[in-house]
Amino acid sequence: MVQPKNADSKIFSQLRIANGDIKLNHRIILAPLTRNRNVPCIPKDPLEPVRTWCPDEVVVEYYRQRTTEGGLLVSEGINPNQQGGGMPGTPGLWLPEHIAGWKKVVDAVHAKGGYIYCQLWHQGRTTIEHMTGMCTVSPSGVAWNDPEELYPYPVKGCRGEGESLKLADYTSIEMTVDMIKDTISDFCEAARRAVEECGFDGVEVHGANGYLPEQFLSDNTNLRTDHYGGTPQKACNFSLELMEGLAGTVGQQKVAIRLSPFGMYNQIRGTKRMETFTHLCRQLKSRLPNMSYASFIEPRYEQVFSANEKDAFLRSWGLASVDLSIFRKILGSTPFLTAGGWNDTNVRGLVESSQYDAVVMGRWFTSNPDLPQRLLEGRPLRQYERERFYGPFQDRERGYTDYDPWCQNES
Ligand code: PHB
């Protein structure tokens, strides 16, 4: 359907992020999207299996296509270290090949006048040792609570080659305090490489969707009783120390965080959501007052359950009509981004509502590399192909870089 033109919409007005250092020309932001299209980094020891991947020209082209003058892209999740990764086709940022690949991506985005943040993503308990070659770590050694759920990729280079393994058979180990400090230090070193060596405009911590920081925030995955768990306040300490560490490394105006206070992905079933996330936001506001932005996933957005099932969960928590406004209020002038379920119709009026400063879009940006232009002109959006989202694929370009910009004859 052709929508009305949106030129007068505030979504096409300027927005300053990074404590005013970056002036965006519009407020439609490419979401961090795992697409598993990176190429193997060949290990020095030929007997070692491939455990990490890096961007090549196809990946560069994907980001280039989605760049607009003064627009912001967030990279796919990039692992700060080997222990936090291992998913086929997803990249890291510790090898020279990673750095060289990401520098090419950043240069291509900058050449078109765009901005790009590096999303730092540690999988914690959601990876398995067969993929990383290391033990799997998380706040506590809690077994995967679905005994039948399989790690979604066949393992390589070890016994059971080609098989899918049950996550519950490979429970992560509880991080010692030294491991926590080392992990934060790996994040900081990755952030330094991102900004200083690759030229990224900032870094975004993946604090959502059941990955390591959210595993600390959630009382079903964090059973600790030390400084890092036991109360909603202590459960925030990992994320807060991480954010402070990053701010000390690259400057707080270059540091952002993505959160999903009502998420359930990766078996997150926290029971103290409001207490935990309001404390986290209050502390972030006081410790990093010049943080670049905060990016939130909408309460009703859901990757696994149906809308009705999600509503039932929200009702059972006494949060039937919850929205993100409490976090908006706490964070005040920090740019506030929303993601989850936005499209060409409901995006209109989003900034005018004063609830949000910008929208983060993923699925529609995948099949419409010229999404901001299409929204500006009220052009129809091309349907996305969900089965081409997550690779790896032999034909990497399909469903990735082969979507043309809008043309008159588009069906
Ligand atoms: C996510 O951040 O939600 C996410 C990351 C990696 C995936 C799927 C989802 O493969």
Which residue has its alpha carbon closest to ligand 1 atom 10? 34
pLDDT, residue 158, reads 75
Over residues 2-18, the pLDDT tens digits come to 566 788 899 999 999 99
pLDDT, residue 48, reads 87
Judged by DSSP in three states, 138 sits in strand
Best residue among 30, 33, 34 to mutate for probing ligand 1, ranked by most atoms within 8 Å of CB: 34
Going 305 to 231 to 257 to 191, the CA torsion angle's sign is: negative
* Chain position carrying tokens 């390591």: 212
CB burial of 171-199 (b: ≥16 within 10 Å; e: otherwise) equals: bbeebeeeebeebbebbbebbebbbebbb
Residues of the chain with pLDDT under 70: 1-4, 157, 411
> In whole angstroms, what is the distance from residue 166 CA to residue 164 CA?
7
Looking at 63, 153, 211, 228, which residue is catalytic? 211
Best residue among 265, 267, 268 to mutate for probing ligand 1, ranked by most atoms within 8 Å of CB: 265
Instruction: Please return the burial class of 53, using the count of CB atoms within 10 Å of its CB with bins 0-12, 13-18 and 19+.
Output: buried
pLDDT, residue 162, reads 83
How far is ligand 1, taken at its centre, from the CA of residue 144, in Å? 17
Which residue has its alpha carbon closest to ligand 1 atom 8? 34
* Chain position carrying tokens 């928590």: 317
**From the alpha carbon of 265, which atom of ligand 1 is closest?**
3
HSE of 219, CA atoms in CB hemisphere, 13 A: 14
Domains, the chain, with CATH or none: 6-388 (3.20.20.70)
pLDDT, residue 108, reads 99
pLDDT, residue 47, reads 84
Query: Cβ of 154: how many Cβ atoms within 10 Å?
Result: 14
211 tagged catalytic:
yes
Contact 24, 15 (CB under 8 A): yes
Instruction: Please return the burial class of 317, using the count of CB atoms within 10 Å of its CB with bins 0-12, 13-18 and 19+.
Output: middle
Ramachandran region, residue 155 (left: φ > 0; alpha: ψ -120 to 50; beta: rest):
beta
Which residue has its alpha carbon closest to ligand 1 atom 6? 34
pLDDT, residue 256, reads 99
* ∠ Cα 55 59 62 (to 5°): 160
How far is ligand 1, taken at its centre, from the CA of residue 361, in Å? 14
Ramachandran region, residue 157 (left: φ > 0; alpha: ψ -120 to 50; beta: rest):
left
Query: Cβ of 17: how many Cβ atoms within 10 Å?
Result: 27
How far is ligand 1, taken at its centre, from the CA of residue 8, in Å? 34
* Chain position carrying tokens 């407020």: 27
* ∠ Cα 18 349 305 (to 5°): 85
How far is ligand 1, taken at its centre, from the CA of residue 40, in Å? 19
**From the alpha carbon of 208, which atom of ligand 1 is closest?**
2
The binding-site residues of ligand 1, defined as CB within 6 angstroms of any ligand atom, are 34, 77, 209, 265, 390
Which residue has its alpha carbon closest to ligand 1 atom 4? 34
**From the alpha carbon of 36, which atom of ligand 1 is closest?**
10
pTM: 0.97
Which residues are 118's β-sheet partners?
A: 203
How far is ligand 1, taken at its centre, from the CA of residue 120, in Å? 12
Best residue among 150, 209, 296 to mutate for probing ligand 1, ranked by most atoms within 8 Å of CB: 209
> In whole angstroms, what is the distance from residue 131 CA to residue 279 CA?
35
**From the alpha carbon of 77, which atom of ligand 1 is closest?**
5
Give the residue from 77, 54, 114 showing the smallest Cα distance to 203: 77
Which residues are 359's β-sheet partners?
A: 28, 338
Contact 25, 376 (CB under 8 A): no
Residue 12 tokens read as 């096409």
Query: Cβ of 269: how many Cβ atoms within 10 Å?
Result: 12
Which residue has its alpha carbon closest to ligand 1 atom 7? 34
* Chain position carrying tokens 């309001």: 278
How far is ligand 1, taken at its centre, from the CA of residue 289, in Å? 28
